[in-house]
Structure 1
Amino acid sequence: MLGILDIIIAVFLIYALFSSLVSGINELIVQMLAMRGRVLFEGIATMLGELPKETGPAIQRWYKNSMRRLGFVDKRKAHLTTLLYQQPLIDTLSPPGNSKPSYIPPAVFSSALVQMLTNNNASVDAVRQSLADRTTPLNKLLGPMFDEANDNLEKFKIKIENHYNAVMDRVGGWYKRRSQFMIFVIAFVLALGFNVDSVYIVQQMQKNPEQVEKLVEIAATYSNKTNENNDATITTSSDQKSDASEELLKNIRELKIEVNDFRNLGLPVGWHISQPITVEQTATAQKTEKQFSTLNFTLLPGQDNLLLVVIGWMITALAGTLGAPFWFDAISKLFAIRGTGKKPE
């Protein structure tokens, strides 16, 4: 029984480090593309009625919807949203440049929207005049809110904030689903690129108890560090916000460490690389001519069933979407079952 638990702990450790690598790459991509700000911009543009459902041929609709999911909204269609983002209340929420704020407080949004509607003349008469034409999508949305507020500008803003919060709940769901899909794609690409085949790994672990013992020792070390870090997180404050460039450099450094940790485990992963030997020419030719050869990448010995290999990659990719905390927590619970976990204080 303990032998099976040791193998499971070793495999979970691989999943934990692999998940850390996947999460690091995903966070790097998210920061470089400013995905949170892009999704927020799309949600607000949809709320203001500037992004209706795409029409036309199926391929064209798929392409446009895919670009929207990646946060690349056609600003020509989102004219009002662009004007809204130019309002000082929102524009000052993000650093100078093309970046967009990743979060806009409801009160700031409602005030900026009223200022945009009234051309910075936030009065009841100016709002009534701007909402006189009820044929536009935005006026259809805001007109009834203004009527229900009975010419009370503060009540009107509160109604805008309530609707904004409801839309932001949906936007949070969009971002979560897109993030999960992106994480799975990254995990599968890494599983294929590094040839991290879960089925093959388990098979090799059963044949190599020394490797399993080594991984269990490393898992115990990581588990203790994780518990200590969690305790430190509870007792310390994390309210300080770092600059975007510093955060990006920090993620790159952490990603480099995660790659090295994963690579230094000596796991049965990767590709078998062979270099064909070229036919030797004369001694003079060898000194004067460069010899070129190609590298051949093949599966590891024992990976004979391609379908089983693909299934192994899929299992690894799915494991990578669960995140490192999930696997480290599972390792801690397995150590408790095994009877060699962290001693009670």
Structure 2
Amino acid sequence: MSMRDAVLQALKEKNGEWLSGEMLSESLRVSRTTIWNHIKALLAEGYEVESSPKKGYRLSSPPDILSPDEVCPGLACEVFGRKEYIYYQEIDSTNSQARTLASKGYPEGTLVVADMQTTGRGRRGRSWYSPRNQGIYMSLILRPVLPMKEISRISLLVAVAVAETLEEELDLPARIKWPNDILVNNKKIAGILSEVVSDMDGIEYIVVGIGLNINNQLQDFPSDLRTPATSVRVEDQRLVSRVKVLQGLLVRLERRYFDLLAGSFEGTLEKGKSLSLAIGQELKLDTINGVIIGQAVDIDDYGFLLLRDQSGIIHTIMSGEITILS
């Protein structure tokens, strides 16, 4: 254990009570100057550590930092985030970093998490608003052994896991706007960006990026967003623990993912249909081949949207941008 970790552990063990600098330096067998240097480092990381010349130091509130120190001890996953949990206070894009790591051979379940992104990315090259310590910005490396035709199931299971987390952990009425947006009360609370790299032998890796608005205030969102934005804080009028939400999300992602690899997708598909905002609605679909207007009638076994156009022809839609008209 590093000295920094030992100082942090000692502060946590006091459960918010004061710990004298003298006692801390004696127990760790280092100078009080060394202790103070590590306290300053923890402050720079975002830990709220109070100091008093007479009382010493204490953690003044439970930290809500998405570091492995805070997330991993309570994480009930077997693979996701367990072997490689890579945390940044600030990064350009977690997806970009995860792609770099995946290309270097980092294993399945490698997790890249940041407390802030400077150039977070969404679908079609759009930016994702990623202010410091307000949301969850994460990317996960997957290496599924699946036929290429089943790859679209990954996007649906991720959307289901995000919506489930908001439903079950926070009692929010989350719904899936096919294929990659999660809405609450018709406002966007989360976005998903999946990037696939394949070769002649099949899927090499998938990087799944998730941006989830947690403690953002409404007035802080940019005014030029395509879809009105919201956050857990806006909808529920309270601050929530990003650490707990991330832990719950990773568990649901892992369960849904390994069900898929084991050949069980029916439960995820049915859940995805029940959470869909599109099924039964009149839509305008913007695809690379043009615009289609019609009614979404179903989601097929591979997670594709089935759309009946105005002449009665049913189209299988693999990707595109939808606008709900009714």
TM-score using structure 2 length = 0.25
| Higher-Rg member (1/2) | 1
Structure number with higher helix proportion: 1
By relative contact order (CA 8 Å, sep 6+), the higher-ranking structure is: 1
